[in-house]
Amino acid sequence: MKPANSEERMMYYGKGDVFVYRTFAKPLSGIQSIPESDFTGRENIIFGMNVKIAVGGEDFLPSFTEGDNRLVVATDSMKNFIQRHAAQYEGSTMEGFLEFVSRRFLETYPQMSSILITGKETPFEAALVPVDSVLQESCLVFRHSRNEYATVTLEMVRTENDAAIVSHLCGISDLQLIKVSGNSFTGFVRDEYTTLPEDGNRPLFIYLNIGWRYGDVQDAMGKDAARYVPAEQVRDIAGAVFEQVETRSIQHLIYHIGCRVLERFPQLEEVRFESQNRTWDTVVDTIPNSTGRVYTEPRPPYGFQGFSVIRQDLGQKGSNQ
């Protein structure tokens, strides 16, 4: 909870893997539509997440130094607190729920002065079922998705007579995207250590975690759905930009995805990327009478990139190519 170089002592405790599945939460509707996405809202028939909470406060010092548990809220109780508050949450976003439950912790336990809370969505997709001979999304049956999932981290501190969010990051994790052609990687440093050939047309496979920060964190809560940024729309922007840009590298691609996200959502200040290169290895380069090839999984080690796109980048954006 404290930066590694902080003079202050590190001290926190909490609970991870707190699974919460709330059924029939309030649907999310009224979000802005964007050209890159057909996402219009969430039914929230299953509102599921994995929560991790860490609480801090000087009052916990004797629990470490003297074994004095008088102010210790058992982490088992924290788990119950989070799960039972899911029944009381009246909103429709993970951000809103985590803010709600963090405020309730600070209201209930004066010995807690800060909360760091993370939620990872457990994604479910509606099964398609026939209704009057037409396939429609079921309201009852869902497939547990193994694909990407939304994430939220909030840090909340007690203030004089209230609580305030001092940092936040919303996001989408484990997005795995491949573009089978239209990607090059050329012109990089060639010296005695270079064995990688230049490639004018590679199948670029990336693992992507994307995070975003709002100018006003209250926009993240979804009370005004028109100002909320759904992870599904960010996911769809990533796919659309990947399709549209002749990528010269992953570095080049993520910059353009970030610029597009900031263009679509003026309420955001920053978009952050962590990417990993999982480009397939070529096994058969040329197949007679076909433009296809045969590939296999890449071998470790894997390259990675980290990059933040900020508002100032929009003014200086280069060409899309």
Catalytic residue among 15, 79, 120, 179: 15
Map the footprint of ligand URC across residues 262-291, applying CB under 6 A.
277
Does position 210 bind ligand URC by CB under 6 A?
Answer: no
Catalytic residue among 26, 52, 75, 122: 75
Smallest distance, Å, CB 255 to ligand URC? Answer: 12
- Nearest to residue 116, comparing CAs of 257, 233, 16, 244? 16
Residue 64 CA from chain centroid, whole number: 33
Q: Is 108 an active-site residue?
A: no
Quick one: 248 or 317, whose CB is closer to ligand URC?
248
- Nearest to residue 208, comparing CAs of 147, 158, 276, 143? 276
Of the candidates 30, 303, 306, 318, which one interacts with ligand URC according to CB under 6 A? Answer: 303
Does position 113 bind ligand URC by CB under 6 A?
Answer: no
How far, in Å, CA of 100 to CA of 98, rounded? 5
Looking at residue 305, its amino acid is Q
Smallest distance, Å, CB 182 to ligand URC? Answer: 13
How far, in Å, CA of 265 to CA of 317, rounded? 16
Does position 250 bind ligand URC by CB under 6 A?
Answer: yes
Count of other CB atoms within 10 angstroms of residue 75: 15
Count of other CB atoms within 10 angstroms of residue 187: 9
Judged by CB under 6 A, how many residues of this single chain contact ligand URC?
Answer: 7
Q: Is 75 an active-site residue?
A: yes
Site mask, ligand URC, residues 183-202, x = CB under 6 A? Answer: --x----------x------
302, 278 in Cβ contact below 8 A?
A: yes
50-58, 89-97, 244-252, 310-318 -> range binding ligand URC (CB under 6 A) = 244-252
How far, in Å, CA of 30 to CA of 27, rounded? 10
How far, in Å, CA of 293 to CA of 84, rounded? 53
Does position 249 bind ligand URC by CB under 6 A?
Answer: yes
Which stretches of the chain bind ligand URC, using CB under 6 A?
185, 196, 249-251, 277, 303
Catalytic residues: 15, 75
